[in-house]
Structure 1
Amino acid sequence: MKRNFPVLLIALILTGLAAYQMIQNGQEVRAAGGIRPPEMARNKPVPSFTLQGLDGKGYQIGGEREKPLIVNFWASWCGPCHEEAPDLKRMFDKYGEHFDLYSVNVTRDDRLEDVKGFVKKYDLSFPVLLDQKGTTAELYRILFVPTSFLVDKHGILRDVIHVLPPEMLEKRIQLLINSQG
């Protein structure tokens, strides 16, 4: 127990900091007369957005689609993102005809050269979108990366995941593909 105390203390501090930031962000939005981002909840529509990809094309999320979608938020400096990238690539290579994968780089907190290096290192073949101002990450209430949203073809949030072992990731993707949503 004594060895776990520092870890528990750090986790408690980080949780408190995240809660404080969420409260502050909400107060800033209200003070500015803005509208709070919609709640992210399973079985509810995801917020719509459009971002430009590294390929120069615009990509839109929200509403009806031909296939289910995974929206993966990440950054090149994030260790768990490096851990997750090869598994996402394998799953996309294996099941990509049955779902779309949009990899959203939180570019505000990253460098474009590092983003391009990450994409090259892992040979990512799915669209990499650039959230240059961080507004999409805020809209989706991203507190840490990586975070992935599994969205059915009707634009409904089905699941939120972080780094998973490959077999669990595959099961979640299969559930998304097979959902009747």
Structure 2
Amino acid sequence: MKRNILILGAVIAVIALIVAFNWPDKGEAPAETKPGNAAAEQPAAGPKPGELAPAFKLTSIDEKTSYAVGGARDKVLIINFWASWCGPCDKEAPDLIELYEKYKDQVDLYAVNETKYDTVRGAKDFVKEKGLTFPVLMDKSGDVGDDYKVFSYPISFIVDREGVIRHRIEGPKPIEEWEKMLEEVLA
């Protein structure tokens, strides 16, 4: 019995030491952000504003038209990454339609369905249900989403006429914020 109590006491002491030496001090960075930690050394999600938009070429949902991104263009471009099962994408769709209708003479909008994580049927049903009038592109391999470091939906990018990313927009935003960002890029 004494032996069991001694073993239990030793185990508790070891656990206490482990906790004491691994407990972060006040003001100390969490382990995941400390220098030398692999997660901390990875660059922040990109591409970032001020960088050229990664080039790509994708086919539309009707499989008849190809769209390319990369370099200078005639209009400002919104690239919107989405999935049919995404609740925030559903919430954002009416605002994107409104923005496109208001700015379509000055702005292109490409809605990139992350088909690798969705279904073609789901994407087509979403487009039909929402009445999307702008080009819907299919990223079947997921390569474009990877290039743009898309890890959640929706994520959008506003790209200026020189092909430079001006804004990375994570999640749905009020239409007033969209208009403010667009007006800044269009000026």
Q: TM-score, structure 1 length as denominator?
A: 0.76
- Partner residue, 1:169: 178
Structure 2 equivalent of residue 102 of structure 1: 110
Does residue 83 of structure 2 align to residue 75 of structure 1?
Answer: yes
2:150 aligned partner: 142
Unaligned regions of 5+ residues in structure 1, if any?
1-15, 17-21, 27-37
1:135 partner letter? D
Question: What's the RMSD between the two structures over aligned residues?
Answer: 1.8
Instruction: Report the equivalent of 1:157.
Output: 165
Which of 1 and 2 has greater Rg?
2
Note the 1:27-38 alignment, pairs <5 A: none
Give 4+ residue runs of structure 1 displaced > 6 Å after superposition: none
Deviation of 1:39 after TM superposition, in Å, equals 5.0
Corresponding position of 1:112 = 120
- Deviation, 1:176, is 2.2
TM-score by length of 2: 0.73
1:34 corresponds in structure 2 to none
1:37-95, Cα deviation, whole Å (9 max, x unpaired): x9512111111000001132110011010011000000000000000010000010111
Which amino acid in 1 is paired with 2:56? F
- Structure 2: state its 5+ residue gaps: 1-31, 33-37
Aligned residue number for residue 127 of structure 1: 135
Output the amino acid matched with 2:122: D
Distance 2:48 2:89 in 1: 23
- 1:66 aligned onto 2:86: no
**1:54 counterpart letter in structure 2:** I
- 3-state SS of paired residue (2:75): coil
- Is 2:53 the partner of 1:53? no
Q: What is the identity percentage for the equivalent residue pairs of Structure 1 and Structure 2?
A: 41
Count of residue pairs the alignment pairs up: 145
